[in-house]
Amino acid sequence: MSRRKKSRSARAKGIYLLPNLFTTSGLFAGFYAIVAGMEGFFDYAAIAIFIAMLADSLDGRIARLTHTTSAFGGEYDSLSDTVAFGLAPALVAYSFTLYSLGKIGWLAAFLYVAGTSLRLAKFNAKLNAGEGDKRYFYGVPCTAAAGFMAGLIWVLNKYQIHVDYLGIVIAVTAVMLGAFQVSNIKYRSFKDSDFRGSVPFFLIFLVILVFVGIALDPPDVLFGIFFLYVFSGPVGAILGLFRRKKEVVVESQDSVNTESH
Residue-wise pLDDT tens digits, 52-80: 999 999 988 888 888 888 888 889 999 99
Residue-wise pLDDT tens digits, 143-180: 999 999 999 999 999 999 989 999 999 999 999 999 99
Quote the pLDDT of residue 41: 98
The reply to whether the predicted model has a pTM over 0.85 is: yes
Domain locations along the chain: 15-192
Amino acid 208 reads I
Per-residue H/E/C for 200-240: CHHHHHHHHHHHHHHHHCHHHHHHHHHHHHHHHHHHHHHHH
Residue in 122, 120, 169, 166 with CA at minimum distance from that of residue 143: 120
CB-based contacts of 123, cutoff 8 Å, min separation 6 = 137
- CATH number of the structural domain 15-192: 1.20.120.1760
DSSP-derived secondary structure letter, 164: T
Partners of residue 137 on adjacent β-strands:
187
Contact yes or no for 36/76 (Cβ under 8 A): no
Quote the pLDDT of residue 129: 64
Amino acid 174 reads A
CB-based contacts of 78, cutoff 8 Å, min separation 6 = 120, 124
Contact yes or no for 189/132 (Cβ under 8 A): no
What are the CA-CA distances from residue 39 to residues 33, 42, 95 (Å)?
10, 8, 8
Quote the pLDDT of residue 97: 97
Span 87-94, mean pLDDT? 98
Span 20-38, mean pLDDT? 97
Contact yes or no for 18/65 (Cβ under 8 A): no
